[in-house]
Amino acid sequence: MNTQYELNKNLAQMLKGGVIMDVTTPKQAQIAEKAGACAVMALERIPADIRAAGGVSRMSDPKMIKSIQQAVSIPVMAKVRIGHFAEAQILQAIEIDYIDESEVLSPADDTFHIDKTKFKVPFVCGAKDLGEALRRISEGASMIRTKGEPGTGDVIQAVRHMRLINQQIKHIQNLREDELFQAAKDLQVSYELAQYVYENGKLPVVNFAAGGIATPADAALMMQLGADGVFVGSGIFKSGNPEKRAQSIVKAVTGYTDASILAQLSEDLGEAMLGINEQEIELLMAQRGI
Amino acid sequence: MKKNIGVLAVQGAFAEHINTLKKLDINTIEIRKKSDLTENHIDGIILPGGESTVMGKLINELGMLNSLKKFIQDGLPVFGTCAGLILLAKKITNDDNVYIGTMDIEVKRNAYGRQLGSFHTNGQFAKLGQVPMTFIRAPYIENVSKNVDILAQIDNHIVAAKQNNMIVTSFHPELTSDLNIHKYFLDLI
């Protein structure tokens, strides 16, 4: 792999143990940075509002993203539609730190993802299972996150995806070496990537949890299930006291194994986002792009 | 006896430092809260890469800042990489914050710009010869006091320095397979 790809994987390594927060204005970005976010995701509408508004959802206005880049000193990420390489070219031109090729926006292509190897800027992509994660990596993603179910405040899908990816990794490790060829075929991934998982027992890139995380306890749950860090979207700025909730989630990701710390962090956070259960929603964003 | 090295583990790439230290047959202790620092015997500490704003905030709010500062002032060997370098600096030229602030260096954060400015190179490090250097949204040192030794420069910018028990690099030796910089730090102990 080339040097730029290594540097892009390295940036994701620096984000580990941290919280990446969705923000829609420079003011929210500053609140997030002050609360201890290790990066922000700049977007016009958070997933809960995208879900409520319906219609086609696209890349955010570059002017709005630039105003957030000026407001904070931490890395700034932004989303493009699945397969929309022109949107990605635009974000690269404004020197975004990370592009999220995201199922939260309306997909632009129902067959092809972006060829991310053609870009200098790094990409993070969502995955529900090991096959998806490794396919995105072969397309050039330098960071993976669970898809979860964005904009719901319901953590069940992020849990399902994280557990499944880890179970599938363990399954690969338990195979005989001569069974890897068929395993690669079953996962629809290259032999080399299957072999990497077999030898190392992990993905070749950092893996964050995302989609439905709303409380310090949710964040700690995902960390204990093996996430390298968490994305929090609607959970913060849809809640009663965003500053306090953001700070508590940051500390929960650092102290995720210490229940007495988690108990303190969970106290008196004000109202959590109301959220919706997965059975109550019509649009499953996680089904987009496989 | 094996040496015990604490690795600040509140956020960032601490696992990479721990892996490097294990290759050198060193005991490692993750420092996540104040008691990790005060209840263990440690011979030295590493402040890893990550986001300095996050790490600086957490060491303060988790109540570790004063103990860390005191240990370092009393001579505990410390090695700061990237964000760790920023935590040790007495002045950040483009930011009003000061965190541990024990080292007489002035540092510029994100000095090479955004991720597209991140790069890898090889450079001369003290008397060790050429070492691989990976810079990720890295800072560099703009000024040092007379009592600080410059260990490495790239394009006329200071990227590594030493003052008594403190070593800093704006690049990430823990991201490469080269063990020389960690050995150089361990020789301080």
**Beta carbons of B114 and A75 less than 8 Å apart:** yes
Exposed/middle/buried for A111, CB within 10 Å: 0-12, 13-18, 19+?
exposed
pLDDT over threshold 90, residue A276 = no
Q: For B118, name the nearest residue in chain A, comparing CA atoms only.
A: A7
Closest by alpha carbon to A288, among A118, A84, A26, A96?
A: A84
What is the C-alpha to C-alpha distance for residues B186 and B21, in angstroms, rounded to an integer?
Answer: 10
Share of chain B above pLDDT 90, in %: 99
Q: Is B4-186 CATH 3.40.190.290? A: no
Is residue B15 helix, strand or coil?
Answer: helix
**Residue owning tokens 């995105």:** A136
Q: Give residue B14's pLDDT band: very low, low, confident or very high (50, 70, 90).
A: very high
CA separation, residue A174 to residues A64, A135, A200, B55 (Å): 48, 21, 12, 38
pLDDT at A2 over 80: no
Query: Among A14, A16, A77, A247, which would you mutate to test the B interface (most chain B Cβ atoms within 10 Å of its Cβ)?
Result: A14
Which of A82, A147, A77 has its CA nearest to residue A114?
A: A82
Residues of A in contact with B110 (CB under 8 A): 73
With beta carbons under 8 A apart, name residues in chain B contacting A7: 115, 118-120, 134, 136
The chain-wide mean pLDDT, for chain B, equals 97
**CA-based nearest distance A51→chain B, Å:** 31
Task: State the smallest CA–CA distance between residue A30 and chain B in angstroms.
Answer: 12
DSSP string of A182-217, one letter each residue: HHHHHHTS-HHHHHHHHHHSS-SSEEEB-SS--SHH
What confidence category does residue A1 fall into, taking pLDDT thresholds of 50, 70 and 90? very low
Give me the catalytic one of B30, B61, B120, B172.
Answer: B172
Q: Do B58 and A251 touch (CB under 8 A)?
A: yes
> Which of A 187-216 lie inside 8 A of B, CB atoms?
none
d(CA B102, CA B57): 17
Residue in chain B closest to A11 (alpha carbons) equals B136
At A126-163, the pLDDT tens digits run 999 999 999 999 999 999 999 988 888 899 999 999 99
Nearest CA-CA partner of A155 in A78, A79, A225: A225
H helix and E strand count, chain A: 13, 8
Q: Delimit the domains of chain B by residue range.
A: 4-186
> Going edge to edge, which strands form the sheet with A123-127?
A206-208, A143-146, A123-127, A98-102, A76-81, A39-42, A19-23, A230-232
* A39 close to B (CB below 8 A): yes
The ipTM value here is: 0.95
Closest partner CB to B115 (pick from A16, A73, A75): A75
> Collapsing DSSP states into helix, strand and coil, what is residue A63?
helix
Q: CA A21, CA A37: separation in Å to the nearest integer?
A: 6
B172 catalytic per annotation: yes
Pairing between β-strand A230-232 and β-strand B157-163 as defined by DSSP bridges? unpaired
Distance of alpha carbon B185 from alpha carbon B168, whole angstroms: 10
Q: Is residue A110 classed as helix, strand or coil in its secondary structure?
A: coil
Q: Which residues contact A164 (CB under 8 A, 6 or more apart)?
A: A128, A129, A130
Mutate to test the interface with A, among B31, B110, B116 (most CBs of A within 10 A): B116
Instruction: Write out pLDDT tens, residues A26-73.
Output: 999 999 999 999 999 999 888 888 888 888 899 999 999 999 999 999
Q: DSSP character for A44?
A: S
Decide: residue A212, CB within 10 A, 0-12 exposed, 13-18 middle, 19+ buried.
buried
> Cβ contact (<8 Å) for A7 and B120?
yes
Per residue in B22-59, pLDDT (tens digit) is: 999 999 999 999 999 999 999 999 999 999 999 999 99
Distance CA A116, CA A128 (A): 19
- 8 Å CB contact between A197 and A174: no
Distance CA A250, CA B60 (A): 14
pLDDT in tens, B71-107: 999 999 999 999 999 999 999 999 999 999 999 999 9
Judge contact between B133 and B154, C-beta under 8 A: yes
* Residue A250 to residue B116, Cβ atoms within 8 A: no
Would the CB atoms of B136 and A11 count as touching at under 8 Å?
yes
Question: Cβ of A36 and B57 within 8 Å?
Answer: yes
Q: Does A250 touch chain B (CB under 8 A)?
A: yes
pLDDT at position A167 is 98
Give the 3-state secondary structure of A248-283: HHHHHHHCCCCHHHHHHHHCCCCCCCCCCCHHHCCC
Distance from CA of B186 to the nearest CA of A (A): 23
- Does residue B169 surpass a pLDDT of 50? yes
pLDDT level of residue A94 (50, 70, 90 thresholds): very high
3-state secondary structure of B1: coil
The per-residue pLDDT for range A167-195, each reduced to its tens digit, is 999 999 999 999 999 999 999 999 999 99
Mean pLDDT of chain A: 94
**Measuring CA to CA, how many Å separate B28 from each of B6, B9, B10, B66, B110?**
6, 11, 15, 22, 29
Identified catalytic residue from A9, A16, A34, A79:
A79
Q: How far apart are CA A81 and CA B24, in angstroms?
A: 45
In sequence order, the 6+-apart residues with CB closer than 8 A to the CB of A200 are none
Q: Is the dihedral of CA A268, A271, A273, A277 positive or negative?
A: positive
CB A264 within 8 A of CB A253: no
Residues paired with A146 in a beta bridge = A127
Q: Is A61 on the interface with B (CB under 8 A)?
A: no
